[in-house]
Amino acid sequence: MASLLRTAGRARSVLPRTIPHATSRVAPIAFQRRHASAAAAAVADSSEQSFFPDEPTAPIIKTEIPGPESKKAVERLSKVFDTRSLNMMADYSRSYGNYIADLDGNVLLDVYAQIASIPVGYNNPALLLAATSPSMASAIINRPALGNFPQHDWADILESGILSVAPKGMNQVFTGQSGSDANELAYKAAFMWKRQQQRGGAHVDFSHEDISSSMNNQSPGAPDMSILSFKSGFHGRLFGSLSTTRSKPIHKIDIPAFDWPQAPFPSLKYPLEENEAENAKEEQRCLAETERLITEYHSPPAAIVVEPIQSEGGDNHATPAFFRGLRELTKKHDILFIVDEVQTGVGATGKFWAHEHWGLSTPPDMVTFSKKAQTAGYYFGNNDLRPNKPYRQFNTWMGDPARAILFRAIIQEIKRLDLVSSTAATGNYLFDGLQRLAERYPSEIHNLRGKGQGTFIAWDSPRRDEVLKKAKGQGVNIGGSGEQAVRLRPMLIFQRRHADLLLERLERIFQE
Ligand SMILES: Cc1ncc(COP(=O)(O)O)c(C=O)c1O
């Protein structure tokens, strides 16, 4: 810790303008980057100045993956921790910028980024500064139970961080721990809002029957209401959120679930330009069925929840018109519109929030976030979404100032380097390259999607798992989603040079 603090101390004095220097590949990278050159580079100009100038220039492959050291470490870990979902054993002290290192000296270009959760690079010096600041140390060791004992500067941390990037129309936040938690909190807010409305307003107290039946998990205290979600959607794995998750049975089997409605999500045909009429009809069909469920389902929805791009479920897109249609339906039937931006949020689609692409007439009622924010919660703007009594929406931590301070540093870094615009431009460049690859290797890339959506790009691959495995051998860490999609989730510091590398490595895989 002492040396880490010294490192950060030096970085603090030189962060804005330092020139990179050569690095050895032996010492942990976090300690090599004493002068914190990375990410200190000015905003990329047309010649694309690197955000991480002393990042590796290409992947380094020294052994098979997993190599001997990784295998040993996995074997050891397996004895005390379930490793059956393990993708790769990493060495974060040697990971840097867009590159993830393993224990055998292999260094991979990472376009999966901890399941879409690393925004500004491994061992980013600006984050190291935030992580080693006195306020962070205090937040970690004096963690407050925020509902009861918030720290004196909590408003400041929120205003200068999480709320500084609040979606349009939203000025409040309820902070939480994870994406699933954020969604469940939003669902609870929706139910309390709806019942409060049915009772006649916030001033009307609960009935005796409400109170007694709630303790027996019976209506009206535990009302027969629902959250409507979409086929193939993913909203998390806790009990309530899992009931709205519809991506894969393996997540749901053996877990009791609420009997809630599931609307069809549009299944679009690609390329979009050639299938406009058919796709519009498909979206109309889905909207009509959504409306039918809202009005006829035996357990009426208090809200609908939707991802701007269904991520875990296979990178399924719909057009802005579909989402505008959903917004109109929620207004017409007086239910809430919850947009789950856990995976799409924080810049990856070329807008800070993906729903900014839709041109909504009114903002969503709640927007949930986590992953790249490194903290979690839901934004809202309507005071009626605060329950009428304290402790109705409550838990011990109610978020975490340490994570909120980290998100603030991430936001500053995103703004300083203009990373949302950069991601939009890099995404267009990458998409064009992928389109060319798809023309050359039509059997490898089907249904390329994500045009104009930053680097949030995916395609279907008839041999997806083999492609992902071979990608490691080519020095690239890529993830999948759904049954056959290859999903790209690079960080916001992914630039043209990385896109070129990725395209080149993909071509090698297709030629194998
Ligand atoms: C859209 C979306 N919502 C919710 C979640 C759940 O987040 P967490 O795994 O942090 O609970 C995920 C996770 O992948 C997600 O992609």
pLDDT for 48 equals 86
CB 97 within 8 A of CB 23: no
Same domain, 445 and 300: no
Query: Token digits for 172?
Result: 């409040």
pLDDT for 333 equals 98
pLDDT in tens, 213-253: 999 999 999 999 999 999 999 999 999 999 999 999 999 99
pLDDT in tens, 39-87: 434 334 457 899 999 999 999 999 999 999 999 999 999 999 999 999 9
* 146 in any annotated domain: no
The answer, yes or no, to whether residue 467 has pLDDT greater than 80, is yes
- For residue 369 and ligand 1, the question of a CB distance below 6 A is answered with no
Same domain, 390 and 440: no
* 461 in any annotated domain: yes
List C-alpha distances in Å: 505 to 445, 459, 473, 477.
14, 16, 10, 11
CB atoms within 10 A of CB 409: 21
DSSP string, 126-155: HHHHHHTSHHHHHHHHT---TTTS--TTHH
pLDDT in tens, 241-298: 999 999 999 999 999 999 999 999 999 999 999 999 999 999 999 999 999 999 999 9
Q: What percentage of the chain exceeds 70 in pLDDT?
A: 91
Instruction: Please state, in angstroms and rounded to a whole number, the distance separating the CA atoms of residues 278 and 142.
Output: 57
Same domain, 219 and 355: yes
Instruction: Please state, in angstroms and rounded to a whole number, the distance separating the CA atoms of residues 136 and 139.
Output: 5
272 φ/ψ angles, rounded to the nearest 5 degrees: -60, -40
For residue 303, give its domain range. 155-401
Q: What percentage of the chain exceeds 90 in pLDDT?
A: 90
* 94 in any annotated domain: no
Laid out side by side, the sheet with 476-477 consists of 99-101, 107-110, 476-477
Same domain, 173 and 299: yes
* 45 in any annotated domain: no
Residue 297: CATH number of its domain:
3.40.640.10
The pTM of the full predicted model, rounded to 2 decimals, is 0.93
> Is-catalytic flag, 340?
yes
Confidence of residue 431 (pLDDT cuts 50, 70, 90): very high
Average pLDDT, the chain: 92
- For residue 370 and ligand 1, the question of a CB distance below 6 A is answered with yes
Instruction: Please state, in angstroms and rounded to a whole number, the distance separating the CA atoms of residues 117 and 369.
Output: 11
Same domain, 290 and 432: no
pLDDT for 512 equals 86
* 412 in any annotated domain: no
* 371 in any annotated domain: yes
Please choose from 244, 252, 312 the residue to mutate so as to test ligand 1's pocket, defined by most ligand atoms within 8 A of CB: 312
* 267 in any annotated domain: yes
Domain closes at, from 401, 426, 446: 401
Give how many domains the chain has, as a whole number: 2
pLDDT for 239 equals 95
> Is-catalytic flag, 52?
no
- For residue 234 and ligand 1, the question of a CB distance below 6 A is answered with yes
Instruction: Please state, in angstroms and rounded to a whole number, the distance separating the CA atoms of residues 367 and 345.
Output: 9
Confidence of residue 20 (pLDDT cuts 50, 70, 90): very low
- For residue 489 and ligand 1, the question of a CB distance below 6 A is answered with no
Confidence of residue 33 (pLDDT cuts 50, 70, 90): very low
Same domain, 349 and 454: no
Same domain, 385 and 457: no
- For residue 179 and ligand 1, the question of a CB distance below 6 A is answered with yes
369 φ/ψ angles, rounded to the nearest 5 degrees: -145, 155
Residue 368 alpha carbon to ligand 1 centre in Å: 10
Instruction: Please state, in angstroms and rounded to a whole number, the distance separating the CA atoms of residues 274 and 394.
Output: 50
Same domain, 273 and 352: yes
Q: Which of 234, 323, 337, 380 is catalytic?
A: 234
The answer, yes or no, to whether residue 468 has pLDDT greater than 80, is yes
Q: Which residue has the higher pLDDT, 130 or 35?
A: 130
For residue 459, the SS3 value is strand
Closest ligand 1 atom to residue 312 Cα is: 16
Instruction: Please state, in angstroms and rounded to a whole number, the distance separating the CA atoms of residues 277 and 20.
Output: 53
Q: Which of 315, 340, 365, 460 is catalytic?
A: 340
- For residue 467 and ligand 1, the question of a CB distance below 6 A is answered with no
* 2 in any annotated domain: no
Same domain, 395 and 452: no
Please identify which residue in the block is written with the tokens 């205290």: 221
pLDDT in tens, 153-191: 999 999 999 999 999 999 999 999 999 999 999 999 999
Same domain, 379 and 346: yes
Instruction: Please state, in angstroms and rounded to a whole number, the distance separating the CA atoms of residues 333 and 393.
Output: 25
Instruction: Please state, in angstroms and rounded to a whole number, the distance separating the CA atoms of residues 299 and 314.
Output: 28
Q: Which of 149, 259, 396, 500 is catalytic?
A: 396
Residue 508: CATH number of its domain:
3.90.1150.10
Task: For residue 105, give the amino acid letter.
Answer: G
Instruction: Please state, in angstroms and rounded to a whole number, the distance separating the CA atoms of residues 119 and 105.
Output: 24
Same domain, 392 and 432: no
pLDDT in tens, 86-98: 999 999 999 999 9
pLDDT for 434 equals 98
Same domain, 391 and 454: no
pLDDT in tens, 104-122: 999 999 999 999 999 999 9
Closest ligand 1 atom to residue 310 Cα is: 1
